[in-house]
Chain A
Amino acid sequence: MAARDDSVREPVPYADPLGEPFLRTRFALPARPATFVRRPRLTDHLDQALDTPLTLVNGAAGAGKTLLVADWAAGLGPPVAWLTGEAGDRQPGVFWAYALRALHSAGVPLPAGAGPGPGPAGRVDHRLLVCLAAELSGRDRPVVLVLDEFHRLTTRENAEQLEFVLHHAGDGLRLVLVSRTEPLLPLHRYRASAAVTEIRNDELAFTPEEAADLLARHGLRLPAPATRALVERTGGWAAGLRLSALAARQSGDPETYLKEFEAGRSTIADFLLAEVLGTQPAPTQDLLLRVSVLDRFRPELAEALTGRPGAEPILAGLCRQNSFVEDLGHSWYRLHPLFGEILRVHLRARLPGLEPELHRRAARWLRDFGAVPQALTHGAAAGDWEFTAGVFVGDLAIGQLLTGLRADHLRVFFSGMDPRATGAAADLVRAARELSERDLDHGLAHLRHAEEQLPAGPAADPSRLSCTLLECLAARLTGAPGRAEQATATAARLRREVPGHLLAKHPELAALLLTHLGSARVWAGRFDAARAVLTEVLDGPGGAATAPAREDCLAHLALIDYLDGWVGRAEREALAAAEARGAGGRPFPGAGLGQLVLAAVAVDRDELERARSLLEEAAACGAVGADPVTEACRALATARLLLAHGDARAAASAAAPAVAALTTAPWAEAHAALTASAVQLAEGRPDTAAGMLDAMPCSGEPRYAAEVAWVRLAAGRRAEAVETAERLCGSDLTGPGVTVRATLVRARAAAEAGDTTAAAKLLARALLDARPDRLRRPFLDAGPGVRSLLEAPYLHGLAAGWLHGGARAPHDGPGTGTGPPALVVEELSGREREVLARLAQLMSTQEMAADLFISVNTVKTHLKSVYRKLGVNRRGDAVRRARERGLL
Chain B
Amino acid sequence: MHCEIRVEGTMSDMLTRAFPELEHVTMSGQTVLFGPLIDEAQLYGLLDRCLSLGLRVVEMRRLPEPG
Contacts and interface: CB of A to CB of B under 8 A. Distances in A.
A108 interface: no
A338 B53 contact: yes
A169 B55 CA distance: 38
Given A274-B12, A348-B17, A267 B52 contact: no
B61 to A, nearest CB: 19
A267 B18 contact: no
A268 B54 contact: yes
Interface in A241-300: 264-271, 274
A405 interface: no
A345 B9 contact: no
A267 B17 contact: no
A62 B14 contact: no
B54 A338 contact: yes
Contacts, number: 66
A777 interface: no
Contact of B54 (A61, A346, A348): A61
- The size class of the interface chain B forms with chain A is 10 to 19
Contacts of B55: 267, 269
A671 interface: no
- The size class of the interface chain A forms with chain B is 20 to 34
A656 B57 CA distance: 65
Contacts of A269: 53-55
Interface string A340-381: 011001101100000000000000000000000000000000
A239 B52 CA distance: 13
A267 B31 contact: yes
B7 A267 contact: yes
A265 B9 contact: yes
A267 B51 contact: no
A581 interface: no
A43 interface: no
B38 interface: no
A271 B17 contact: no
A180 interface: yes
A373 B55 CA distance: 33
A337 interface: yes
A341 B53 contact: yes
Interface in B2-21: 7-12, 14-15, 17-18
B29 A265 contact: yes
A264 B55 CA distance: 16
A278 to B, nearest CB: 11
Contacts of B18: 345
A856 interface: no
Interface of B: 7-12, 14-15, 17-18, 29, 31, 51-56
11 contacts: A61-B54, A267-B7, A267-B9, A267-B11, A267-B12, A267-B15, A269-B53, A269-B54, A270-B15, A271-B12, A338-B54
Interface of A: 60-62, 180-181, 235, 239, 264-271, 274, 337-338, 341-342, 345-346, 348-349
Task: Please name the 6 residue pairs, one residue from A and one from B, whose CB atoms are nearest each other, closest first.
Answer: A267-B9, A269-B54, A265-B29, A270-B15, A345-B18, A341-B52
